[in-house]
Amino acid sequence: MNNEGVDMIMVGVAVVATMLVAGSLLTFVRLSRGPGLPDRVVALDLIAMYVAGAIAVYAIATDQPIFILPAITLALVLFVGTVAFAMYVEKRNREGRDEQ
C-alpha cells in the first residue's frame, strides 16, 4: 500500500477514535444520571461496546489483526449479558404485576 493509502487509514482511525471517545463520554453521562437500573445497565453495556470498538480500531492502527478476536469475543459476551439482563427485567416486571 502506498503512503497516501496509509495516511487515509490513519485519518480514518483518528476520526473513529474521536467518535468513540465522544460517544463514551456521552454514554457515561447517561450512566451517571440514568433514572433507572435498565438505563444504567444499557449505558454500561454501550460503554463496553465502545471498548470493543476501540480494540478493533487499535488493531487496525497497529496493523495487528490478532486483536480483532478479543474485540469479537467481548462483543459476543456483552450481547449474551444484555439478553440475560433483559430476561431478568422482564421477569421482575411480570412478578411485580402479579402482586398488584
Cα Rg for the chain, rounded, in angstroms? Answer: 18
Give me the pLDDT at residue 97, please. 65
Contact assessment for residue 24 and residue 47, using Cβ atoms and an 8 Å cutoff: yes
Give me the pLDDT at residue 1, please. 62
For the chain, what percentages of helix, strand and coil (3-state, to nearest 5) are there?
Answer: 90, 0, 10
How many structural domains does the chain have? 1
Question: Per residue in 73-97, pLDDT tens?
Answer: 999 999 999 899 889 888 888 887 6
CB atoms within 10 A of CB 9: 14
> In this predicted model, which residue has the larger pLDDT, 53 or 93?
53
* pTM of this prediction exceeds 0.95: no
Structural domain boundaries, residue 13: 3-99
| Res 66 pLDDT > 90 | yes
The confidence band for 32, taking pLDDT boundaries of 50, 70 and 90, is very high
Q: Please give the C-alpha separations between residue 34 and each of 24, 26, 43, 81, 92, in angstroms, as whole numbers.
A: 15, 12, 8, 19, 19
